[in-house]
């Protein structure tokens, strides 16, 4: 028996029945409560199940008596009230096979709803910025230089854009600054490495690297926001040294903003269509050649 059918035996089922029964007893019996048809009853229970899931995950917002209001609101949308629900539930409680049939319909409806939400959940997940350390960065250090590495685990094939705006302070002495990116596997093997040279301008310039992810074995997108060959240094005369070990000077002084690593939906769709076209053309060629 599926996990959902166990719902009929867990506290949600009994809570629904208990709440409706309490209301039924407190308000009093109507002369002829309506019996809710099975299809509508299944839709109502599905809505109640989803409402329970929301209230349970937000206990700080909702209090127990909110369930009564929520159930009443759901029933009202279908033209019924809690007395009708209680009356119908008691009928089903007397016939176990009918109750199982009812909840089989509910299970199918909830599975369908779950499938509806999957594309939206995928879009929301892929729309996020995979760089989680803030969209701006300032590097202003002496001697202890930082490449600001990133390491992102990928699951969805497609195109990922690494983009930012960068400007350099006049006292920066970084040699050949650049953004680098590559794919890596669990053995730290590297494929698809790209580099983008940064112009050492005092005004912000926009930079973007597009990485195409197709090989699931190399599912780590790694790189450096601030890669370089070296930082030019020069000796400091003893008289000008502020500290005993301050014998050289060299500075990284760079500003980043609008930093992001994002999935490119349009480019990924074009890539997928191109791959499908290639496969189709390949099959046609094989058929033409009699293979």
Supply the CATH number for residue 165's domain: 2.60.120
Co-location of 102 and 144 in the same domain: no
Evaluate whether residue 219 is within a structural domain. yes
| Contacting residues for 29 by C-beta, under 8 A, at least 6 apart | 83
Query: Are residues 146 and 114 part of one domain?
Result: no
State the pLDDT at residue 249.
Answer: 53
Does residue 290 lie within any of the structural domains?
no
Nearest Cα residue to 265 out of 152, 116, 114, 124: 124
175 plus 195 within the same structural domain: yes
What's the pLDDT tens digit per position in 126-175? 888 999 888 999 988 876 677 899 999 998 889 999 999 999 999 888 88
Tokens, residue 214: 């197709």
106 and 175, same domain (yes or no): no
- Which residue from 34, 45, 142, 139 is spatially nearest to 91, judged by alpha carbons? 34
pLDDT at 56 over 50: yes
Q: What is the pLDDT of residue 95?
A: 82
Q: How far apart are CA 189 and CA 193, in angstroms?
A: 11
User: ∠ CA(119), CA(120), CA(122), 5° rounding?
Assistant: 65
| 199 lies in the same domain as 247 | yes
pLDDT category at 261 given cuts 50, 70, 90 is: very high
Is 185 within a domain? yes
* For range 210-238, the mean pLDDT: 81
Residues 112 and 141 reside in one and the same domain: no
Tell me whether residue 288 is in a domain. no
Which residues make beta-bridge pairs with 230? Answer: 175
Q: What is the extent of the structural domain holding 158? A: 137-265
Could you tell me if residue 142 is inside a domain? yes
Whether 106 has a pLDDT exceeding 50, the answer reads yes
Evaluate whether residue 197 is within a structural domain.
yes
Assess if residue 63 is contained within a domain. Answer: yes
Instruction: Looking at the structure, tell me whether residues 120 and 143 fall in a common domain.
Output: no
- The structural domain count of the chain equals 2
142 and 259 co-located in one domain: yes
Residue 102 falls inside a structural domain: yes
Minimum mean pLDDT range among 46-50, 214-218, 270-274: 270-274
């Amino acid at each position: 028996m599926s996990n959902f059918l166990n719902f009929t035996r867990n506290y949600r089922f009994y809570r629904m029945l208990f709440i409706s029964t309490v209301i039924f007893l407190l308000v009093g019996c109507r002369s002829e409560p309506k019996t809710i048809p099975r299809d509508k009853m299944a839709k109502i229970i599905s809505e109640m199940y989803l409402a329970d899931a929301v209230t349970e995950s937000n206990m700080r917002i909702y209090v127990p008596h909110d369930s009564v209001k929520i159930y009443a609101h759901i029933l009202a949308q279908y033209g019924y009230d809690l007395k009708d629900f209680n009356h119908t539930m008691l009928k089903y409680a007397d016939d176990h096979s009918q109750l199982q049939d009812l909840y089989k319909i509910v299970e199918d409806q909830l599975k369908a709803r779950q499938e509806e939400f999957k594309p939206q959940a995928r879009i929301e997940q892929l729309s996020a910025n995979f760089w989680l350390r803030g969209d701006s960065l300032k590097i202003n250090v002496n001697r202890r230089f930082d490449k600001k590495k990133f390491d992102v685990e990928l699951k969805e094939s497609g195109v990922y854009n690494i983009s930012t705006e960068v400007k350099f302070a006049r006292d920066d002495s970084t040699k050949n600054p650049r953004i680098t990116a590559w794919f890596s596997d669990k053995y730290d093997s590297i494929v698809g490495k790209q580099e983008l040279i940064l112009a050492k301008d005092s005004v912000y310039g926009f930079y973007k690297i597009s990485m195409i992810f197709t090989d699931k074995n190399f599912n780590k997108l790694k790189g450096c926001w601030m890669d370089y060959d070296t930082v030019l240094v020069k000796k400091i005369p003893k008289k000008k040294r502020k500290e005993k070990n301050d014998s050289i000077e060299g500075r990284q002084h760079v500003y980043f903003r609008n930093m992001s690593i994002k999935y490119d939906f349009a480019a990924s769709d074009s890539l997928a269509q191109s791959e499908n076209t290639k496969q189709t053309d390949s099959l046609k060629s094989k058929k033409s050649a009699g293979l």
